[in-house]
């Protein structure tokens, strides 16, 4: 009986051991199944080249790409650009700038990791353009290749007098959106000042002209305007910008960018020419100090031959450090750009001819009309 009991106990222990082994095996299989389902799947990667469009498929010259990734079961991601080190990112997004000039092909590898360290990865090849030029990408232009009215998608006629029925600076004209005062023909925009009586909202003036504002606001860039200037005394042509937060009566942007008024909005006179000196052009800056709100201004001038009979390029280069104005390749004036000046936000471009006023001066009695002719307007960033 004792031996039978012993055999029975041994058998019972063997069955118990087999059961435990079976349980361990089952748990092991279950753990293995869990690991297999923890591997990330469906890795989706989006690579965006900054400034890429139909005209610049490889980017705007900044050399910068933005990469974002997502995957099922992924808790972190990593990226490698060209042959560099792996860079981790829990959010699955990263920005990278390539530094080699020109258009080059780069490999980008993306990893998605699970909580347990399992991963999947994919590699991509992209062509990216990097320029050593400060302003390489054309962001706004009008070559004036159409005929008739200026392009309504690009230009806004400012016609409402902001100064109690008149314009500032004692100007003598009304601005209109009539084809008599602004039109495109033979590859150039003509802004024409005319001696004629014209009334607007009960205010009558003896001259008309046009003032065109771009419907494009920008911060920093190079502006080029190739133009011939009017030749008659009393005419005051200008190529200039205002801060888009000026909210001046009749401007295109309204209070979209704010409403600080002038001079806190900032003004950049790329080119002005007085009515009494047609051999020189002026570049001037007006602003309100952002700390004290005190009015400030400064500028310079340069001699320019044949301003009415020959085209010249009037340009500005504007960045966070300075604003430089040019006629052709001649530097006219450079203004340091500091945090107390309103030149670190959106501005828009203005083209106009004023008659008389502060810089127009006396208008001859025999004046009939004169034209400001613009071959093209280009803005680069």
| Of 158, 139, 142, 161, nearest in space to 150 by CA | 142
Q: Which H/E stretch holds residue 36?
A: helix 2-37
Nearest-angstrom CA–CA distance, 301 and 226: 18
Are the beta carbons of 233 and 363 closer than 8 angstroms? yes
Nearest-angstrom CA–CA distance, 281 and 301: 6
Are the beta carbons of 49 and 128 closer than 8 angstroms? yes
| Of 174, 179, 180, 181, nearest in space to 199 by CA | 174
Are the beta carbons of 318 and 343 closer than 8 angstroms? yes
The answer to whether residue 301 is catalytic is no
Cα separation of the two ends of the chain: 101
Percent of the chain as helix, strand, coil, to the nearest 5? 10, 50, 40
The phi and psi torsions of 307 (rounded to 5 degrees) equal: -65, -25
* Catalytic site residue from 272, 317, 346, 373: 272
Nearest-angstrom CA–CA distance, 284 and 77: 52
SS3 at position 24? helix
Are the beta carbons of 370 and 353 closer than 8 angstroms? yes
Nearest-angstrom CA–CA distance, 378 and 360: 27
The answer to whether residue 267 is catalytic is yes
* Catalytic site residue from 171, 224, 267, 346: 267
Are the beta carbons of 160 and 340 closer than 8 angstroms? no
- Give the residue numbers marked as catalytic: 267, 272
């Amino acid at each position: 009986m004792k031996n039978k009991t012993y055999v029975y106990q041994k058998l019972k222990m063997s069955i118990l051991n087999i059961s435990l082994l079976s349980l361990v095996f089952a748990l092991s299989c279950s753990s293995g199944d869990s690991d297999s389902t923890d591997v990330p799947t469906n890795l989706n990667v989006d690579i965006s080249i900054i400034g890429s469009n139909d005209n610049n498929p490889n980017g705007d010259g900044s050399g910068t790409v933005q990469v974002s990734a997502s995957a099922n079961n992924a808790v972190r991601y990593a990226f490698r650009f060209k042959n560099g080190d792996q860079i981790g990112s829990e959010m699955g997004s990263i920005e990278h700038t390539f530094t080699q000039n020109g258009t080059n092909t780069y490999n980008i590898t993306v990893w998605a990791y699970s909580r347990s360290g399992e991963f999947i990865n994919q590699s991509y090849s992209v062509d990216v353009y990097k320029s050593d030029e400060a302003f390489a990408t054309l962001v706004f232009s009008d070559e004036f290749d159409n005929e008739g009215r200026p392009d309504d998608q690009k230009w806004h006629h400012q016609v409402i007098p902001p100064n109690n029925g008149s314009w500032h600076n004692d100007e003598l004209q009304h601005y209109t959106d009539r084809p008599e005062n602004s039109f495109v023909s033979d590859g150039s925009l003509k802004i024409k000042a005319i001696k004629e009586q014209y009334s607007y909202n009960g205010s009558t003036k003896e001259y008309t002209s046009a003032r065109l504002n771009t419907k494009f606001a920008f911060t920093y860039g190079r502006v080029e305007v190739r133009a011939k200037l009017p030749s008659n005394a009393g005419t005051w042509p200008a190529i200039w910008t205002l801060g888009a937060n000026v909210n001046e009566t009749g401007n295109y942007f309204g209070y979209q960018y704010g409403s600080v008024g002038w001079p806190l909005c900032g003004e950049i006179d790329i080119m002005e020419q007085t009515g009494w000196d047609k051999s020189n052009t002026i570049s001037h800056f007006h602003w309100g100090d952002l700390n004290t709100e005190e009015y400030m201004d400064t500028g310079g001038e340069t001699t320019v031959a044949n301003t009415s009979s020959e085209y010249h390029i009037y340009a500005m280069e504007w960045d966070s450090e300075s604003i430089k104005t040019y006629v052709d390749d001649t530097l006219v004036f450079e203004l340091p750009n500091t945090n107390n000046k309103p030149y670190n936000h959106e501005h828009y471009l203005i083209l106009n001819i004023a008659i008389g006023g502060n810089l127009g001066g006396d208008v001859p009695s025999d004046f009939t009309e004169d034209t400001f002719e613009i071959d093209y307007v280009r803005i680069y960033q």
